[in-house]
Chain A
Amino acid sequence: MANLLTSSIGKKITMSLAGLFLAVFLLVHLGINMLLIVSDTYTFNVAANFMASNKLIKVVEIVLFLGIFLHIIYGIWLQIQNWMSRPVGYAKSNNSQTSFFSKYMIHTAVVILIFLVIHLVDFFFKSKFMKDSMPPEVAPGIEDMATIVIAKFKQLPFVIIYLVCFLLLGFHLFHAFQSAFQTFGFSHKKYTPCIKTVGVIYALIIIFGYSLIALVIYLSPNY
């Protein structure tokens, strides 16, 4: 096992596992956010409250934070090694045929990282330590996350930053999803093209799903 974990390939595998776990989390998170526009704020609050208080989810949350941590640390570590592997660069820029998004993984990653910090400050910590619950006659003890989220999405600068970040997260995922399978050593004449298609569809769902919520709340007078 030590051979595996300390090697370049081992670090990539850890990164890929953590990345795919994050990718699943993004879908669950999208599903809950969707409640804001397909259902009502009460349902959203109950779901958000469940996610914040359920014991099992708490365990998953710890795994998630560990995953984010490993993905970021290894991502940056491997990238620095990669930069150091070519101390003197080329004068003429590279003209080889390659996948486009894979060249900008670290750049999209830095944007996601910044967004992640903003997001944790704006929502996650608020939901953890917030005092303002919904009125007791509506739902005792349930925090009113919906109001906070909607207030944010009514600010144009926030909405614009949000849309740009999710576009770039999508770019990260266009390469990331299928790359993870290649890293696991999974390559197959029939299944690999399927994985690539699923990866693109997944990235599009993330981009358009999250963007739709932001736009609907910003534009609709009902919120």
Chain B
Amino acid sequence: MDFTLKIWRQENAKAKGRFETYKISNISSDCSFLEMLDQLNETLVDKIEIPICFDHDCREGICGMCSLYINGRPHGPDDDITTCQLHMRKFKDGDTITIEPWRAKAFPVIKDLMVDRNALDKIIQAGGYVSISTGGVPDANSIPVSKKNSDLAMDAAQCIGCGACVATCKNASAMLFVAAKVSHLALLPQGKVEAKERVLRMVRKMDELGFGNCTNTGACEAECPKSITLTNIARLNREFIFAGILSEDKY
């Protein structure tokens, strides 16, 4: 397959970026999107040009490092996958593909297609953990958890922190990410202990870091590679309202 690629190039965070057009041919339809970019980079290296910088690590959809806003959709034109799981057969031979970095004030571009997603880590650092020692592996069923809550918590825990929700949101809001992280802990007994401070701290941090405000538009849910749903955002709002009313401390 042959493609024309319009790729965002930017030397560093301060530099003014621009689109460069590249032609690439003889790409197998079974090739993954990142492998296609690898091949392009090899041709660039051969020509002694600077290869295109993009994030990746596991290449099997679990680490959340790969990003890329492809033809107007984060993680490209397929549902419930990360960019590393996208195959070139999802495109038509001869297509022009526009590749941009995630765009958000909270995600500054580091170089080319790579952005700094530390802001998500900072939200986790603000409270997305259980600080008590939970001891060794307990005997089965010694801590009762309903099947329903365990399923919901595991669904929420699927979030890999890729930032696609922020990238696609018209407000660059991180609500789906925060909702997933708050939900998976709030639904389990070990997480409930610190649930109030957690939700207040994490939302406060999210606001501080310059993410936008949720308008319940739903683009995040549509693009999340791990199918995190908007019901988690409702749960986040619920947790936040109760914690906000009941809490005696200011966060």
Interface residues of A (CB under 8 A from B): 1-5, 7-13, 78, 81-82, 84-99, 102-103, 105, 175, 178-179, 182-187
Counting from the closest, the 4 A-B pairs by CB-CB distance are A4-B244, A185-B238, A187-B234, A85-B212
In this complex, what residue of A is CB-closest to B217?
Answer: A102
Are A96 and B237 touching (Cβ within 8 A)? Answer: no
Taken together as a complex, chains A and B put the C-alpha atoms of A174 and B250 apart, in Å, by 36
The size class of the interface chain B forms with chain A is 35 or more
Q: Is B203 an interface residue (CB 8 A)?
A: yes
Chain A residues positioned under 8 Å from B222 (CB to CB): 96-98
Q: Is B213 an interface residue (CB 8 A)?
A: yes
Q: Is B171 an interface residue (CB 8 A)?
A: yes
Are A85 and B237 touching (Cβ within 8 A)? Answer: no
How many A-B residue pairs lie within 8 Å, measured between CB atoms?
147
Chain B residues positioned under 8 Å from A185 (CB to CB): 234-241
Contact indicator per residue, chain B 19-50, by CB within 8 Å of chain A (1) or not (0): 10000000000000000000000000000000
Are A99 and B212 touching (Cβ within 8 A)? Answer: no
Chain B residues positioned under 8 Å from A86 (CB to CB): 103-105, 171-172, 212
The stretch that binds A, out of B68-76, B87-95, B120-128, is B68-76
A84 to chain B, nearest CB (A): 7
Chain A residues positioned under 8 Å from B247 (CB to CB): 3
A-B contact pairs, 17 of them (CB 8 A): A2-B250, A8-B206, A8-B214, A9-B203, A82-B173, A85-B211, A86-B171, A91-B19, A94-B168, A96-B222, A98-B222, A99-B217, A179-B215, A182-B230, A183-B214, A184-B237, A185-B240
Known contacts being A86-B172, A103-B170, is A92 close to B200, with CB within 8 Å? no
Are A94 and B219 touching (Cβ within 8 A)? Answer: yes
| Of the residues A85, A92, A102, A103, contact of B172 by C-beta under 8 Å | A85
Interface residues of B (CB under 8 A from A): 6, 8, 19, 69, 71-74, 77, 98, 100, 103-106, 168, 170-173, 200, 203-204, 206-207, 210-219, 222-223, 230-231, 233-241, 243-245, 247, 250-251
Chain B residues positioned under 8 Å from A85 (CB to CB): 104-106, 171-173, 210-212
| Of the residues B171, B223, B245, contact of A4 by C-beta under 8 Å | B245
| Of the residues A7, A89, A92, contact of B71 by C-beta under 8 Å | A92
B90 to chain A, nearest CB (A): 13
Chain A residues positioned under 8 Å from B19 (CB to CB): 91
Are B237 and A94 touching (Cβ within 8 A)? Answer: no
Q: Which of A86, A90, A99 counts the most chain B CB atoms within 10 A?
A: A86
